[in-house]
């Protein structure tokens, strides 16, 4: 069997290896609660688009799919952010960095209490 050596195929294999190497513990119930709590894209506020799971700390930088590291993002924001650090990306896009960070901490804290999870980003109770 020949291995597909295109850039896209290599990128897909690399992402699969990254995803398989870490433990992701975001449940479907947690994802639904996150979407409801944010009420739209966590970055731009768009509520009329399909939301995607975006890692605040990118997978390539050591992030995981966990309650305290996922934010709902519209496709445009998710693609634009790529694997950038969230605060510098928000500044570059001229979005409200402070409002996002405060809301992220509040939502993470509230949902961690609801689901009995322990936040790992310092957003503890």
pLDDT in tens, 14-64: 777 776 766 668 889 999 999 999 999 999 999 999 999 999 998 888 888
- Return the higher-pLDDT residue of 88 and 16: 88
Residues 6+ apart with CB under 8 A from 121: 68, 69, 108
Integer angstrom CA distances of residue 56 from 3, 9, 23: 33, 25, 16
From 1.20.58, 2.60.98, 1.10.30, 1.10.3470, which CATH number describes the 25-115 domain?
1.10.30
Backbone angles phi, psi at 106, to 5 degrees: -65, -45
Q: Is the pTM of this model over 0.85?
A: no
Task: Return the structure tokens found at 65.
Answer: 């799919």
Contact 53, 26 (CB under 8 A): yes
């Amino acid at each position: 069997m020949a291995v597909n050596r295109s850039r896209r195929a290599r990128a897909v294999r690399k992402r699969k290896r990254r995803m398989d190497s870490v433990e992701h513990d975001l449940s479907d119930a947690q994802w639904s609660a996150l979407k409801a709590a944010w009420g739209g894209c966590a970055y731009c506020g768009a509520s009329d688009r399909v939301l995607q799971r975006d890692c605040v700390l990118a997978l390539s930088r050591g992030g995981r799919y966990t309650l305290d590291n996922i934010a709902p993002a519209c496709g445009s924001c998710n693609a634009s952010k790529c694997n950038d650090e969230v605060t510098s990306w928000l500044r570059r896009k001229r979005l409200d960095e402070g409002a996002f960070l405060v809301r992220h901490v509040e939502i993470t804290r509230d949902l961690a209490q609801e689901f009995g999870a322990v936040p790992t980003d310092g957003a503890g109770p």
